[in-house]
Amino acid sequence: MQEYYLGLDLGGTKILTGLADDKGKIITRSRRDTEAELGEDKIIKNMIKTIKDVLNKANVNKNQIRALGIGSPGPLDAQKGIIIENSNLPWKNVPLVKKIESALGIKTLLKNDANAAALGEKWFGAGKDVDNLVYLTISTGVGGGAIINKKLFTGVNDNACELGHTIIDPNGPLCGCGNHGCLEAFAAGTSIAKRAREAAAAGKSKKILDLADNIISDIDAVICAQAAYQGDQVAKDIFQNAGYYLGLGLANVINIFNTEMIILGGGVMKASDLFLDKALATMKEFALAGSLELVTVKEAELGSDIGLMGAIAVAMEARLIKND
Ligand SMILES: [Zn+2]
């Protein structure tokens, strides 16, 4: 009997589900709004609808499904299958795995989205040829995941690799976690946006303000990038500054993990030409030579499918390791 796997990428605004064959090739996919504002039960119903939808479209019976992988924003307890809470979803200690398994009778595995993305890049993306990598996503926040000897490094209770909350400068800006100077507080899209709003409010960049039609609260990282591409020095400096601190973060990753590869993903990487050179130069300046000489830094390859391919890799991880 042909075996299949399911992956579900749970986001704050949309749910993306795919059915894959035993090689990880997507056969059918389904997308729905999360409708997070309608509450927990509605979100779970929407998740189940996308799963039934991909099975129906492919005419596959749920007995043929070996596992469902879910990638979700955290914090969560992957072993217990519980989402603890999330700023974009109305969850509070939701036993998601138990609820999905009892509704569908399909073995379900849950991982945080950055860990799932690390698995996706390892098995289906830029990391296919290495056994050790660290994935870093630079997006609204900064998240990470590490693959060590082909396996996801989870930590004792799945909270390893919160690379965004490693402290780069204790005198730095306040982070959402309550500490000062986390990598996320320097390099995330929201942090770049905050610097841009501060610069505009202080009258330092007319270009940023113009691009936002003089509405300071509308200034985001995309507008800051547009200003930089149009030659605005303040906007350019904001990205260079983020790049410098990202470089310190990369040097720390190299010194901790002695990894073969670092893969960079996330929305902010769309503007990588504004900060990546600075980040790599800083990384080279501060990482220890022994580890630095063998590491490769690559951009993620899975693009907008990274969440979905990551979730499929979560479902397939045991099989992929066994067959490799
Ligand atoms: Zn933090």
Instruction: List pLDDT tens digits, range 200-226.
Output: 999 999 999 999 999 999 999 999 999
Higher pLDDT, 85 or 224: 224
Ligand 1 centroid – CA 74 distance (Å): 14
Task: Pick the closest to residue 219 from 210, 228, 232 (CA basis).
Answer: 210
Q: Which H/E stretch holds residue 106?
A: none
Residue 166 C-alpha to ligand 1 middle, in angstroms?
7
| 65 CA from centroid of ligand 1 (Å) | 38
Length of the chain: 324
Q: DSSP letter at 140?
A: S
Span 88-114, pLDDT tens digits: 788 889 999 999 999 999 999 999 999
Give the chain's domains with CATH numbers. Answer: 4-113+307-323 (3.30.420.40), 126-300 (3.30.420.40)
pLDDT at 232 > cutoff 90:
yes
Pairing of strands 151-153, 142-148: antiparallel
Q: What is the pLDDT of residues 18-60, one digit of tens each?
A: 999 999 999 999 999 999 999 999 999 999 999 999 999 999 9
Residue environment code for 85-98, b if the CB has 16+ CB neighbours within 10 A, otherwise e: ebeebebeebebbe
**Å from CA of 254 to ligand 1 middle:** 20
Structure token digits, residue 174: 């306040």
Helix and strand element counts for the chain (H, E): 11, 13
Rounded distance between C-alpha atoms, residue 57 and residue 107, angstroms: 21
C-alpha 269 to ligand 1 mean position (Å): 20
Longest dimension (CA), the chain: 67
- Between the CA of 188 and the centroid of ligand 1 the distance, in Å, is 11
What is the rounded (10 degree) CA torsion for 153, 304, 197, 188? Answer: 10
Quote the ligand 1 centre to 297 CA distance (angstroms): 24
Q: How far is the CA of 179 from the centre of ligand 1 (A)?
A: 5
Cis bond before residue 170 (omega within 30° of 0)? no
Task: Kindly give the distance from the C-alpha atom of residue 251 to the centroid of ligand 1, in angstroms, as a whole number.
Answer: 18
